Amino acid sequence: MFSKGLESATNYLNKYGKDNEEVTGLIHGGFVDAALTQMKGGLSLNYNQAMSSHLAKLNEGMENLKTGNQLKLMGTEGRIARQLIGKQGTEQRRGIRVTGEQQRLGIRETGYQDRMGVRERTQAQKNLRADARGAIRRSGARFFG
Residue 136 placed within a domain: no
Amino acid of residue 142:
R
pLDDT at 129: 76
- pTM greater than the 0.85 cutoff: no
pLDDT tens-digit profile of 18-47? 889 998 899 899 999 999 998 999 999 999
Residue 62 placed within a domain: yes
1: helix, strand or coil: coil
- Containing structural domain, residue 87: 2-109
Residue 65 placed within a domain: yes
Residue 119 placed within a domain: no
Residue 10 placed within a domain: yes
Residue 34 placed within a domain: yes
With a CB cutoff of 8 Å and minimum separation 6, the contacts of 9 are 27, 30, 31
pLDDT tens-digit profile of 54-97? 999 999 999 999 999 999 999 999 999 989 898 888 888 888 88
20: helix, strand or coil: coil
pLDDT at 77: 92
Which candidate, 53, 51, 9, 44, places its Cα nearest to that of 30?
9
pLDDT at 125: 80
pLDDT at 102: 85
Distance CA 24, CA 29 (A): 8
pLDDT tens-digit profile of 105-114? 888 787 777 7
Total domains, the chain = 1
Residue 72 placed within a domain: yes
- For residue 20, report the phi and psi dihedrals to the nearest 5 degrees: -120, 110
Residue 24 placed within a domain: yes
CA atoms within 13 A on the CB side of 13: 15
Q: Please state which of the ranges 1-5, 69-73, 87-91, 119-123 shows the lowest mean pLDDT.
A: 119-123
